[in-house]
A = this chain, B = another copy of it.
Amino acid sequence: MSVDLELEPKTKRPPGEPCCEPVVYPDVEREQAERMARIAKALGDPVRLQLVDVLRKHAGKVCVCELVPLFDLSQPTVSHHLKKLKDAGIVGSERPGLWAYYYVKNDALKEFSEWLS
């Protein structure tokens, strides 16, 4: 699939035509790109990245009441970030009673991690 290229566009060419042949890309990737961009976007905030980092370092579930004081932010703001992460499929949550617990869903990060490396 990946054609090796180092294409020099030809200098002289009839006007009105593109400067070089489009060598690639079937947009086979469009959908996958959107999926992964959604994940990257969710990670594209320092607070959320730290939240994920904390959750990842603790194998189990972590109580929200532990997460909030880690940041110099209001409780609703932290809640908002957790929701964003949840919507992106990066974390999951449980709320057995009064407290809510969050945990990382590693599957979501896996595809992204694999593409990246």
Contacts and interface: CB of A to CB of B under 8 A. Distances in A.
Contacts of A66: 7, 20, 22-24
Interface residues of A, number: 54
Interface in A5-23: 5-9, 18-20, 22-23
A80 B58 CA distance: 39
Contact of A46 (B1, B37, B49, B116): B37
Nearest to A18: B69
Contacts of A49: 33, 36-37, 40
A24 B70 contact: yes
B5 A70 contact: no
Contacts of A5: 58, 60, 62
Contacts of A61: 6
Contacts of A34: 46
A116 to B, nearest CB: 4
